């Protein structure tokens, strides 16, 4: 049995595709999952194709095909481009492994200070609780709040 949808007026089809675009865009805006945006984009040419003599089943087939092609081919690129940093990863973590210069002696009983390459001064402690004199070059091994854990560069 073939499904005939002649009750949908050809003049109304462009507006139905516009509604599909709007609904998909609203869903994408609320989820930010980069999935329904491709359906919204795929519906754009259907606004114009629906004005032709193309039957509804062909319109739906074109819509599904375009959506699938866009989803498979462009979503990974878009995700890569819009990739957010991993949870917990901040600019502070980029200090790990960086060389810093001790500006105030670091001792087992008190924190000292180090100056990073960007010129910012940080509180610091030694990773092995050893004494590190001012002027020494160290490597940042860990970031804990506003304190850098450092070890003497070998």
Six-digit token string for 139: 């490597």
pLDDT of residue 86: 46
Four-way CATH pick for 92-152: 3.40.50.800, 2.40.50.140, 3.30.300.30, 3.30.230.80: 2.40.50.140
Whether the pTM exceeds 0.75: the reply is no
pLDDT in tens, 100-150: 999 999 998 889 999 988 888 999 999 888 899 999 999 999 888 888 999
pLDDT at 20 over 60: yes
pLDDT at 52 over 80: yes
Of 130, 153, 151, 154, give the one whose Cα is nearest residue 142.
151
Report the C-alpha gap between 44 and 98 in whole angstroms. Answer: 50
- What is the per-residue pLDDT across 74-107, written as a single tens digit (0 to 9) for each? 988 888 877 754 444 455 567 888 899 999 999 9
Give the domain ranges of the chain. 13-81, 92-152
Work out the average pLDDT over 22-36: 91
Q: What string of H, E and C letters represents the secondary structure of 38-103?
A: HHHHHHHHHHHHCCCCCCHHHHHHHHHHHHHHHHHHHHHHHHHHCCCCCCCCCCHHHHCCCEEEEE
Based on the number of CB atoms within 10 Å of its own CB, is 83 exposed (0-12), middle (13-18) or buried (19 or more)? exposed
Residue 1's pLDDT is 44
């Amino acid at each position: 049995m073939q499904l005939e949808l002649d009750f949908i007026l050809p003049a109304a089809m462009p507006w139905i595709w516009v509604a599909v675009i709007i609904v998909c865009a609203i869903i994408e805006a609320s989820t930010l999952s980069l999935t329904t945006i491709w359906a919204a984009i795929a519906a754009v040419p259907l606004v114009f194709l629906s004005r032709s003599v193309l039957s509804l089943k062909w319109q739906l087939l074109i819509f599904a095909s375009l959506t699938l092609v866009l989803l498979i081919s462009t979503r990974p690129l878009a995700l890569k481009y819009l990739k957010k940093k991993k949870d917990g990863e901040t600019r502070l973590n980029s200090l790990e492994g960086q060389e810093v210069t001790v500006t105030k002696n670091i001792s087992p009983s008190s924190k000292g200070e180090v100056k990073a390459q960007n010129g910012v001064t940080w509180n610091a402690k030694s990773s092995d609780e050893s004494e590190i004199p001012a002027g020494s070059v160290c490597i940042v091994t860990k970031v804990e709040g506003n304190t850098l854990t450092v070890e003497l560069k070998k």
